[in-house]
Structure formats: C-alpha cells, structure tokens
Structure 1
Amino acid sequence: MNINQSVDLDFDREHIWHPYTSMIDPLPVYPVTHTDKNRIFLETGESLIDGMASWWSALHGYNHPKLVKAMTEQVTTMSHVMFGGITHGPAVNLCKKLVELTPAPLQKVFLADSGSVSVEVAIKMALQFWLSQGHSSKTKLMTAKKGYHGDTFAAMSVCDPVNSMHSMYQGFLPEHIFVEAPTSGFDQELKESELDALESAFKTHHNELAAFIIEPIVQNAGGMNFYSADYLKALRELCEKYNVLLILDEIATGFGRTGKMFACEHAQISPDILCVGKALTGGCMTLSATLTTEKVALGISQGEAKVLMHGPTFMGNPLACATALASLELLEETDWHSNVHRINQAMSRLHRCAELDVVKQVRTLGAIGVVELKEVVDVAKIQKFFIQKGLWIRPFGKLIYIMPPYITSNEDIEELSDGIYQAIEQNAY
C-alpha cells in the first residue's frame, strides 16, 4: 500500500464518520499529507498554522525529535504487552514522573487509554471507595453545568444536561445532581451568593454524594468558561466539610495550558482524584491516567471486591508510556511557563475583536484564547475562510478559540488572531 497516495474523499464521505458529523450532510474534510512543528500540510498544497494543537494535545508541535526517538526506540523492543501480571519500565517510569509532577498527596496511578475512560475510572473509584466503607447510599455525583467530561456513558452523565452534546441521552444515563455553572470570573473573588448556593447543595445532598467532579478553572468543551480560583477553594473546603470526594478533570487543562502545570494550582488545592490525558503524550499517542490518594486507593482495596473493577486491554501500553515520559521530560526541559506567558501576551491581539458588534466577549488565560459570538458559527463556512488564510481553527457553537502548541511564535499567534478578527468582520462565519 502506498501511504502517500491521494485520499479518496468520496469513500471518506460515504463510509467514514468524523467527530460529531452527519452521514447525510457531513462537514467538509481536508486531506492532510504531513505535519511539522506547528504546521499542517494539505494535499492541495496549503500550509496551515495549527491553532488547535490537535484538540489541545500537541503541546510541542508535531514530529519533535525527542518524541520521535522515544517512539522509534520503544516500537523496536516492545510496542505492547498486557499489563495483567506484567510490568515494564515505560509504565513504571511514567508513573514515577506523574506522582512527582502532580500535587500531593496524589500517589496512586491508574493508566487508561483515553480521557473519557480516565473519567469512567475516577467515577468508579469514588463509588467503590464509599461502598467499601459501608456507605451504600453515596451513589451520586454532583457537578456544575457547562461541564464536559467525555463521550462514554458515565462521563456523559456528568456533562451539562441540557446544553452538552449528550442531552438526547437523558433517560438512559445515570441521573446526577447539577449546580449552576461558576459565574465569578477567573480574576474575581467568589460571589457570596454563589458560595451560599454551593453550600446549600452540599447540605441537601451530601449523604448521597460520592464525589463532586469539575474541570478546574476552565470548563472547556462545555463553553470555555473561565472561573474564579476561589470557587475551587470553596469546593475543596465543602467536600471536606461534608465528606465528599473531589474529582478534578485536568484532561484539557493539565500540563501548563492555563499557566500552571495543573490548573488546580491556581487555587493551591489538590483533589482526591485527578484525571489527565490529551497532552500527556504530546499528542502522539492515546493515553490517560487517573491518580488518587493513598486513602482512596487503600479504602477501595479494603472492600468486598478488594480490587478496582477496571482493566483496559491496552492499559499501560509501553509505546504510549514511553512517549508520554519523553513528552513530560521535554516539558520540563523547555521553558514551558515562559512560552505560555509569551503566547498569552501575544493573544492580547484577540481583544480587538470585542469592538465588533456580533462579539459577546473575548477572554484569554494561559495559552487559551476565546472569542464568544452572539450567534452560532457556521463551521464549514468559517473553516473554508481560515484555510484560505493559511490557518487551522475549528470553532464550535458560538465560540471561536485557539489553543496552539507552546512552540507557536508570536508572529503565528498574530496571524491566528488577525484571521479570527477578519472572519468575523467579513461575516465569514
């Protein structure tokens, strides 16, 4: 098979599902031939500045020599082996690094194969912990509206019940408890009314709550909602007061994206259970992890089952673990913090979009830039415009946003920002 042959777009359209796309009237797709650094190259000849970091995962850009070397060396010795009854260096060394990087007292690591699955595992951990302690009534989760935690069933059940992509599954999903989404902005103090409402929900439901789950500081695919660190601090305190576990979903926010290694560091707190994924391997392989405390891990092991009831076929995949370890080492070796700060400064150019009538709000944090419109974006129309400008940006809903690789230059950030302004100004959305 010639891997460089032209993509059969007719076959793609007739037979292949793409994410959140109709089979009757699918969105256009653009054949990619290769990638390099922060560029995506199309079969039709265009070179595109990547504003998405492949859905926020390719922190170091594409084809970084350190990651390519790690994958190449690992695949020649052991690409995969079952994790049941077997261990290996890539998994052990990766877990050592994760325990070192994540906030104390997280020290027990479960390796999974996608972000959604890491959330499933986190929910299982919380439920099994309380069952193991004899609290059979603590079977519900509480979460905030505007959240998004993945596409598998338990993960869908804690996504926004109305405005998420999963509202049609209501009635099939487990029913959990939702509070209003955080409204105090990132740089604001927590409103007293918001704290009162949170505590009221805990008072009412704590006897049935296994855990509260939320994306720290930035609710991502549920609406790119940036919220106050005080909200997280209050959540940590309420969970302790009312004997509820705190699950933080750092799948999108982890590894520097918000300006801290983990977003919960903005509030100087640590969860009972932490989910990571996406950028874990630098966007090269699928891998995730769920970390928890000794208290939770040993509590589960003291129960009737004695074990955590989960074990994916590709758990601890050596190829993915070796790549993830190389990515985390690269993150430490490069000045990621300065790069994220630099990108944030360059993204200030986005704020001029606020002068356009159809723009509701512009917000930036770390290496995240969001322009929220007053109306829904036509994805096919605006992507065609961006490609003509040499840009890869994929909006959703009313949001046009960028989360580029950390290697992206100031000049490229300016081009991305200007392209968004022009698309809105020229009604190309």
Structure 2
Amino acid sequence: MQADDLAFDSRHIWHPYTSMRHPLPTYPVVSASGCELTLSDGRRLVDGMSSWWAAIHGYNHPVINQAMNDQISRMSHVMFGGITHPPAVELCRRLVALTPEGLECVFLADSGSVAVEVAIKMALQYWQARGEKRRELLALRRGYHGDTFGAMSACDPDNSMHSLYQGYLPPHRFVDAPQRRFGEIWNEGDDRSLTTLLAAHNSTLAAIILEPIVQGAGGMRFYHPEYLRRTRALCDYYGVLLIADEIATGFGRTGEWFACNHAGITPDILCLGKALTSGALSLSATLTRRHVAETISDGDAGCFMHGPTFMGNPLACAAANASLSLLQDESWRQRVAAIAAQLSAGLMPLADHPRVYDVRVLGAIGVVETKQPVNLAPLQRWFVERGVWIRPFGKLIYLMPPYIISPPALAQLIDAIVDALTQPAHFLS
C-alpha cells in the first residue's frame, strides 16, 4: 500500500472503536498465512489475536480454501427462504451432534451479534406463544454480547463500552458477576445475587443470558463452572430459559468443545460464531431445544419471525464444514493444552510485577491485567516493531492465538508482553 492509501484510510475509513477526529494508527496487511500477517513493507507479524478470536486454524488453510473454492464453483449464495442446500444441511447435522445434548433446532445467521439478537427474539417469542408477556432478560455484570441493540441491552449497563446508550435500550436486570475463579474452590455465596433476583422477579424474566466460564470483552474474566450448574438448576426450578453466548468460547478455546461442557449443562438456547468458520467468512448459528422451537411455531405467528438475507450462505457453510473437519480428530485438545501450559509458564511470573494486577490462563487464552489502562497507540506500535500482533484494550494485554501456533512463535508473543512491562511507563495511561 502506498502512503496516499493510508492517508485516505485515515481520513475516510472508520475503524472499530476508533475516533475519526483522532484515529488510531492502522497497519496495512497484504497477506496472511499460518499464524503470520504480512505487512505491505514486508514485515511479518506473529498473530496473537486469531483475528478477534476467530482464526483457530490460522490463515490461508489449504483445507478451508479448497472447500470454499469447490463451493464457489457451484454457487456462492442462494436465498434460504424455501431453499436448502448440502453445505447447510451438513453443517447443521454436525452442530446438532457436537453441541450439548438436547439442542436440536439450528438457526443460521451472519454474525455473532445477530446470533444473540436471534436468541433474544426466540426467548421473547417463546413466552408470547405461551400467552405470557415476559419482556425482561437477566444478565451478568461485566458481560458483553455484541454491538447491535438487543445484544447491547444485555451488556453491563455501567461498566461496558455501550454504557452511553443507556436510556435508548430496553431495560433489563443485572446480577453481580461470579467472583470465584475457574480452578478455585467453590464459594457457596457466589450465586447469592442471582438466587435473590430470580426469587423476586422470575415471573417477568424471559431468559438468563450469560457467557459461559469466560466473560470476554467485558474483562476477560474466568469463573467457576459450578456457577453455570447453579444457574441451570435455578432456570429449571423457576421455568426461565437459559441462553449461553459461546460466540467467543465455542470450538475448543477453553479446552472443551464448548465452555458449557465444563459444567456438563445444556442451555435452552446456544449462540455460536467467530471460530465457526475459522474466520474465513462471517457466519453464526443459534441452536435451541425442540420444545422451544415448537412452542414458538405453535404461537399466533406460526413461525419464528426472523430471516437474514445471507442466512445459510453456502460459501460460509462450506468453510464451516471444513473447519469442523479439521477439529474432528480432537487433536486440538492436545494443542490447546500445550498452549495453556506455555502461556502459564511464560505469563504467570508477571503476577508479582508492580504494574500488574492479575494474570490468568484458561485453555488457549492468556490474560495480563495491568493496574492502569494501557496507552494503546504506542504499545501497539512497540508490539509491531517486535514482530507481533497483539491488540490490548483497557487494562488488558491478552493472547488468544490460533491453535496451530508453534512453541517458538508463541514464545515470541509472550516475550513481547513480558518485555513491554519492563519498558518506560508511557505504555500505561
């Protein structure tokens, strides 16, 4: 890319969470392969982000590329209304087999946020079909579920990037996030806020929505599986639906196929995205139990009232099938376990660093939480100069690398974080 391309980009292209008056620097990527991004000047960066947690098999994977090439020669897209096709049927068959038992009905959409919108609409329409006007959700503080309006309404109203929209979003109820961490001994009082609110307001609640085990963009927090088990039991007791948002955690990121598996529970509605296609194309899926789908279908509308234009896109479904084929021998478990061990060995010593508040690792996720927010632009530039792509936010410097990353490449990412914390404090606000 030429200098005028970057100047145009800075002047006219609005990047995510970036000011148009004072835009953050952008780095021109011209190709990607394996775990590396190649910049226009020839520099290669080891990717520690998996393209926002999606590219679990890395980039330019020949199996996924071949599947998309084969599919595009037949059809890249066809409407899903009144039409079906082999890639969608194969994908839904795989998802029903892989996900927690009891999830039988699959709704395909085109992004994670839309999957959450679909889940919320399913819950609302379910109760409407039953003759009850339950309009509230219960969500966890520190939670994050997406950028569209329904998804934003379920994000923490006070401590999230969407707090400025309060007053425009439908109001919901929020409970304290669980404090007991993954791997610790369960604290019997950790679900008190949830138990108290459910006892008082269960008759108005359509569903509980949460991110199982890992709260992602709301703070990269890992919590105890027992909280999920208690939540499932409470939902059963009070007759409230449970929505599990596994957009970030699905397909092995936490060391299990799905984070719900750590607790051995099945939600009533499950949201999937990101790694579904290994980042090759945008695709999401929302799965639900048959009785939920049939109750909705028995209502006045006679169907579920949602239908995205690109629902069931054949090209994206072909990429997803190829990605799932790469996971089917479950060798990813050993790779994720090895990543976790190396992240722990490399990052945990930082727990005693004077600038660090906490360090935590789960599966192929490593998080260093600093005491002060990071100064993104200079820290990002420093990482690029070190040959790595790491995108911190707030007080979090974290890694979610592709599962195929080699130990030397992962060591390069870890060393860059360790070294950054020994640099002058201008990297912190």
Superposition TM-score tier, normalisation by shorter sequence: over 0.9
Q: For residues 7 and 58 of structure 1, do their structure 2 counterparts lie closer, same or farther at Cα, with a shift above 3 Å needed?
A: farther
Work out whether residues 114 and 148 of structure 2, in 8 Å CA contact, stay in contact via their aligned partners in 1: yes
Task: Select the residue among 369, 390, 394 that pairs with 1:393.
Answer: 390
Q: Is the aligned partner of 1:185 residue 2:181?
A: yes
1:60 maps to what in 2? 57
1:216 maps to what in 2? 212
2:373 maps to what in 1? 376
Note the C-alpha offset of 1:198: 1.6
Work out whether residues 257 and 368 of structure 1, in 8 Å CA contact, stay in contact via their aligned partners in 2: yes
Letter in 1 for 2:229: K
SS in 2 for 1:280: helix
Paired with 2:358 and 2:21, the residues of 1 have a C-alpha distance of 34
Q: Is the aligned partner of 1:288 residue 2:316?
A: no
1:310 maps to what in 2? 306
Q: For residues 84 and 73 of structure 1, do their structure 2 counterparts lie closer, same or farther at Cα, with a shift above 3 Å needed?
A: same
Letter in 1 for 2:317: C
Paired with 2:238 and 2:338, the residues of 1 have a C-alpha distance of 41
**339-348 vs 194-203, which moves further:** 194-203
- 1:57-87 per-residue CA deviation (whole Å, 9 max, x = no partner) reads 0000000100000111111110000000111
Q: Is the aligned partner of 1:273 residue 2:273?
A: no
Note the C-alpha offset of 1:418: 1.0
Q: Is the aligned partner of 1:101 residue 2:98?
A: yes
Q: Is the aligned partner of 1:86 residue 2:70?
A: no
Gaps of 5+ in 1: none
SS in 2 for 1:360: strand
2:254 maps to what in 1? 258
Letter in 1 for 2:199: K
Work out whether residues 336 and 403 of structure 2, in 8 Å CA contact, stay in contact via their aligned partners in 1: yes
Q: Which runs of structure 2 are paired with 1:396-407 in the superposition (5 Å)?
A: 396-407=393-404
Note the C-alpha offset of 1:351: 1.1
Note the C-alpha offset of 1:334: 5.6
SS in 2 for 1:192: coil
Note the C-alpha offset of 1:5: 7.1
Q: Is the aligned partner of 1:325 residue 2:284?
A: no
Paired with 1:173 and 1:13, the residues of 2 have a C-alpha distance of 31
Work out whether residues 383 and 394 of structure 1, in 8 Å CA contact, stay in contact via their aligned partners in 2: yes
Q: Is the aligned partner of 1:366 residue 2:363?
A: yes
Q: Is the aligned partner of 1:198 residue 2:189?
A: no
Q: For residues 26 and 6 of structure 1, do their structure 2 counterparts lie closer, same or farther at Cα, with a shift above 3 Å needed?
A: closer
Paired with 1:93 and 1:6, the residues of 2 have a C-alpha distance of 45
Work out whether residues 228 and 263 of structure 2, in 8 Å CA contact, stay in contact via their aligned partners in 1: yes
Paired with 1:224 and 1:310, the residues of 2 have a C-alpha distance of 31
- 1:135-160 per-residue CA deviation (whole Å, 9 max, x = no partner) reads 12x11000100000000000000011
Paired with 2:236 and 2:132, the residues of 1 have a C-alpha distance of 16
Paired with 2:349 and 2:25, the residues of 1 have a C-alpha distance of 30
Note the C-alpha offset of 1:235: 0.3
Q: Is the aligned partner of 1:175 residue 2:171?
A: yes
1:8 maps to what in 2? 5
Work out whether residues 104 and 290 of structure 2, in 8 Å CA contact, stay in contact via their aligned partners in 1: yes
Paired with 2:256 and 2:338, the residues of 1 have a C-alpha distance of 14
Paired with 1:394 and 1:330, the residues of 2 have a C-alpha distance of 27
**Count of matched residue pairs:** 425
SS in 2 for 1:160: coil
Paired with 1:82 and 1:188, the residues of 2 have a C-alpha distance of 48
Q: For residues 190 and 143 of structure 1, do their structure 2 counterparts lie closer, same or farther at Cα, with a shift above 3 Å needed?
A: farther
Q: Is the aligned partner of 1:49 residue 2:37?
A: no
SS in 2 for 1:238: helix
Task: Select the residue among 157, 162, 168 that pairs with 1:166.
Answer: 162
SS in 1 for 2:190: helix
Paired with 2:145 and 2:241, the residues of 1 have a C-alpha distance of 17
Q: Is the aligned partner of 1:415 residue 2:393?
A: no
Relative to the length of structure 2, the TM-score reads 0.98
2:131 maps to what in 1? 134
1:113 maps to what in 2? 110
Note the C-alpha offset of 1:202: 0.4
Paired with 2:256 and 2:20, the residues of 1 have a C-alpha distance of 40
Paired with 1:351 and 1:368, the residues of 2 have a C-alpha distance of 13
Note the C-alpha offset of 1:195: 2.4
Paired with 2:34 and 2:113, the residues of 1 have a C-alpha distance of 27
Paired with 2:110 and 2:244, the residues of 1 have a C-alpha distance of 18
Note the C-alpha offset of 1:190: 3.2
Work out whether residues 31 and 43 of structure 1, in 8 Å CA contact, stay in contact via their aligned partners in 2: yes
Paired with 1:132 and 1:67, the residues of 2 have a C-alpha distance of 41
**55-64 vs 188-197, which moves further:** 188-197
2:139 maps to what in 1? 143
Paired with 2:374 and 2:130, the residues of 1 have a C-alpha distance of 49
Note the C-alpha offset of 1:364: 0.1
Paired with 1:416 and 1:178, the residues of 2 have a C-alpha distance of 36
- 1:1-59 per-residue CA deviation (whole Å, 9 max, x = no partner) reads xxx77770011011100000000000000001100100001112211000000000000
**401-410 vs 350-359, which moves further:** 350-359
SS in 2 for 1:58: coil
Work out whether residues 356 and 425 of structure 1, in 8 Å CA contact, stay in contact via their aligned partners in 2: no
SS in 1 for 2:328: helix
**90-99 vs 329-338, which moves further:** 329-338
SS in 2 for 1:8: helix
Q: Which runs of structure 2 are paired with 1:26-41 in the superposition (5 Å)?
A: 26-41=23-38
Identity of aligned residues (%): 57
Work out whether residues 178 and 191 of structure 2, in 8 Å CA contact, stay in contact via their aligned partners in 1: no
Relative to the length of structure 1, the TM-score reads 0.98
SS in 2 for 1:421: helix
Q: For residues 370 and 7 of structure 1, do their structure 2 counterparts lie closer, same or farther at Cα, with a shift above 3 Å needed?
A: farther
Paired with 1:62 and 1:323, the residues of 2 have a C-alpha distance of 12
